[in-house]
Chains A and B, each alone.
Chain A
Amino acid sequence: MSFISYLINGISLGSIYALIALGYTMVYGIAKMLNFAHGDIIMIGGYTIFVVMNTLGMPPILGVLVAVVVCTILGVTIEKIAYKPLRQASPLAVLITAIGVSYLLQNVALLIFGANTKLFTSVVSIPAISLADGQINLSGETTVTIVVSVVIMVGLMLFIRKSKTGQAMLAVSEDKGAAELMGINVNATIAVTFAIGSALAAIAGALLCSAYPTLTPYTGAMPGIKAFVAAVFGGIGSIPGAFIGGILLGVIENLSKAYISSQMADAIVFAVLIVVLLVKPTGILGKKISEKV
Chain B
Amino acid sequence: MDKLKKMNKTTKSNFITYAMVIVAYIIMQVLVSAGVVSSLMTGLLVPLCIYVMMAVSLNLTVGILGELSLGHAGFMCVGAFSSAVFSVATVDTITSVPLRFFIAIVIGAVAAAVFGVILGIPVLRLRGDYLAIVTLAFGEIVKNFINVVYLGMDGKGFHFSMKDTGSLNLGEGGKVIINGAQGITGTPKNATFTIGIVIILITLFIVLNLIHSRAGRAIMAIRDNRIAAESVGINITKYKLMAFTISASIAGVGGVLYAHNLSTLTALPKNFGYNMSIMILVFVVLGGIGNIRGSIISAVILTLLPELLRGLNDYRMLIYAIVLIVMMLFNWSPRAREFREKYSIKRFLNRKSIEKEEA
| Genuine A/B complex | yes
User: Of B285, B289, B318, which one neighbours A104 at CB under 8 angstroms?
Assistant: B318
Let me know if A229 and B133 touch, CB within 8 A: yes
Q: Is A7 an interface residue (CB 8 A)?
A: no
Query: How far apart sit A111 and B129, CA to CA, in the bound complex (Å)?
Result: 30
Let me know if B274 and A221 touch, CB within 8 A: yes
Q: Is B314 an interface residue (CB 8 A)?
A: yes
Beta-carbon nearest neighbor of B335 in chain A: A85
Q: Is B321 an interface residue (CB 8 A)?
A: yes
Given A34-B129, A93-B328, A95-B132, 4 other A-B residues pairs in contact with their CB atoms under 8 A: A34-B128, A99-B132, A274-B134, A278-B122
Q: Is A82 an interface residue (CB 8 A)?
A: yes
- Find chain B residues with CB under 8 A from A110 CB: 317
User: Of A93, A100, A222, A264, which one neighbours B331 at CB under 8 angstroms?
Assistant: A93
Which residues 244-293 of A have a CB within 8 angstroms of B?
A: 261, 263-264, 266-267, 270, 273-274, 277-278, 281, 291, 293
Contact with A along B41-76 (1 / 0, CB 8 A): 000000000000000000000100011101000000
Query: How far apart sit A225 and B138, CA to CA, in the bound complex (Å)?
Result: 12
Residues of A in contact (CB 8 Å), total 42
Let me know if B68 and A92 touch, CB within 8 A: yes
- Find chain B residues with CB under 8 A from A88 CB: 332, 334
Let me know if B148 and A291 touch, CB within 8 A: no
Q: Is A196 an interface residue (CB 8 A)?
A: no
Q: Is B305 an interface residue (CB 8 A)?
A: no
Let me know if A273 and B68 touch, CB within 8 A: no
Let me know if B122 and A274 touch, CB within 8 A: yes
- Find chain B residues with CB under 8 A from A86 CB: 328-329, 332-333
Interface size, B (range): 35 or more
A101-B62 contact, Cβ under 8 Å, with A86-B333, A267-B141, A291-B227: no
Contact with A along B315-345 (1 / 0, CB 8 A): 1011011111100110111111000000000
Contact with A along B114-132 (1 / 0, CB 8 A): 0000010111011011101
Let me know if B123 and A100 touch, CB within 8 A: no
Q: Which 3 A-B pairs have the closest CB atoms?
A: A100-B324, A85-B333, A89-B332
Q: Is A177 an interface residue (CB 8 A)?
A: no
- Find chain B residues with CB under 8 A from A92 CB: 62, 66-68, 289
Beta-carbon nearest neighbor of B63 in chain A: A92
- Find chain A residues with CB under 8 A from B335 CB: 85
Query: How far apart sit A91 and B278, CA to CA, in the bound complex (Å)?
Result: 18
